[in-house]
């Protein structure tokens, strides 16, 4: 089974204007949408499109949390959230008016009792299950939270996938995550080296592997992706052609595609990379998360 964790899920209220945002004035929307998300939830959503069942874990609170939970169930996603007694699941306002302006909510505080409830759910994971940890840690939790969870799961044969930045990513490497997915700019920040070509990116990926990561997937936006697998093989793939209209969720979609491709191919890393790239690109070329039809159409061109 695949499990995803979203510490601070959100309802994104997306507002589209037909002119530039006028600060201090009344702005009238020409359209609006509510999108249920958070990085782990995005991964679960794309996995569902690929026919892979997952369970979305994390924390929800208040009426907005109940709305999010019902909405995900209506989409066919399995959830097993910890319900917080106080606060409310955040609402993020995304204003699309030529440029995009965002106002992201803080989200509820997560007490220690809630963290222990999440850990109890993770205790039920079995050998070879996949656990996806994605995104930042809310301010109410210690920045060592990822390490805390992986230390608890250590030695149980659970495949951890971590999509995070800087210290959050570096500090989990001793726990030998199955996969990490930095982009090339994040990898440059981590290594302190300006990466300008495939050889340098592969060398930086080897550094991450030497520190404990089993597989290193480096996304490079329109330049495709590079994978260093646990056997030391480097795979390089370009990006399919298309017009980028949305970068939100593209990295999460790549993670979902990689995990699904790995499972469905019986551990073929090249197939996992191909599906991951198709999923990330399909989301980037869409207004929302990739659909199976979008993904299949791109796969046919790769």
Q: Of these residues, 167, 252, 294, 296, which one is catalytic?
A: 252
For the chain, give the number of residues.
302
Within 50-197, residue ranges assigned H as helices are 62-74, 112-122, 145-153, 166-170, 184-191
**DSSP β-bridge partners for residue 161:** 132, 179
* 21 token code pair: 């945002």
How many helices (H) and strands (E) the chain has is answered by: 10, 14
DSSP per position, 231-242: TS-EEEE-PPP-
Q: Give the torsion through C-alpha atoms of 222, 170, 149, 277, to 10 deg.
A: 20
E strand or H helix at 264, and its extent?
Answer: helix 250-264
**128 belongs to the catalytic site:** no
Collect contacts of 233-241 with beta carbons under 8 A, ≥24 apart.
233/269, 234/202, 234/205, 235/269, 235/270, 235/273, 236/198, 237/273, 237/274, 237/277, 237/302, 239/277, 239/281, 240/277, 240/278, 240/281, 240/298, 240/301, 240/302, 241/301
The terminus-to-terminus CA distance of the chain in angstroms comes to 28
Helix (H, G, I), strand (E, B) or coil at 151: helix
Catalytic residues: 252
């Amino acid at each position: 089974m695949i499990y995803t964790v979203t510490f601070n899920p959100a309802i994104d209220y997306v507002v589209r204007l037909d002119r530039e945002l006028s600060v201090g004035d009344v702005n009238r929307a020409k359209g609006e949408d509510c999108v249920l998300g958070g990085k782990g939830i995005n991964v679960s959503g794309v996995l569902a499109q690929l026919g892979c069942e997952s369970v979305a874990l994390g924390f929800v609170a208040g009426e907005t949390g109940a709305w999010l939970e019902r909405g995900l169930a209506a989409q066919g996603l399995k959830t097993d959230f910890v319900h917080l007694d106080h606060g409310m699941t955040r609402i993020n306002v995304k204003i699309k008016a030529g440029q995009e302006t965002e106002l992201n909510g803080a989200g509820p505080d997560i007490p220690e009792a809630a963290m222990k409830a999440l850990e109890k759910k993770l205790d039920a994971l079995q050998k070879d299950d996949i656990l996806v940890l994605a995104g930042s840690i809310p301010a109410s939790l210690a920045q060592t939270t990822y390490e805390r969870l992986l230390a608890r799961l250590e030695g149980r044969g659970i495949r951890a996938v971590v999509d995070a930045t800087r210290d959050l990513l570096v500090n989990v490497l001793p726990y030998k995550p199955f996969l990490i997915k930095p982009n090339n700019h994040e990898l440059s920040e981590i290594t302190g080296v300006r990466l300008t070509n495939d050889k340098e990116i592969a060398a930086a990926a080897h550094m991450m592997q030497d520190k404990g990561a089993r597989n290193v997937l480096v996304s490079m936006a329109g330049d495709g992706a590079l994978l260093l697998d646990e056997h030391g093989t480097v795979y390089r793939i370009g990006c399919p052609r298309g017009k980028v209209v949305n970068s939100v969720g593209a990295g999460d979609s790549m993670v979902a595609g990689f995990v699904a491709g790995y499972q469905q191919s019986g551990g073929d890393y090249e197939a996992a990379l191909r599906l991951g790239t198709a999923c990330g690109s399909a989301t980037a070329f869409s207004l929302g998360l990739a659909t199976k039809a979008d993904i299949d159409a791109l796969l046919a061109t790769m």
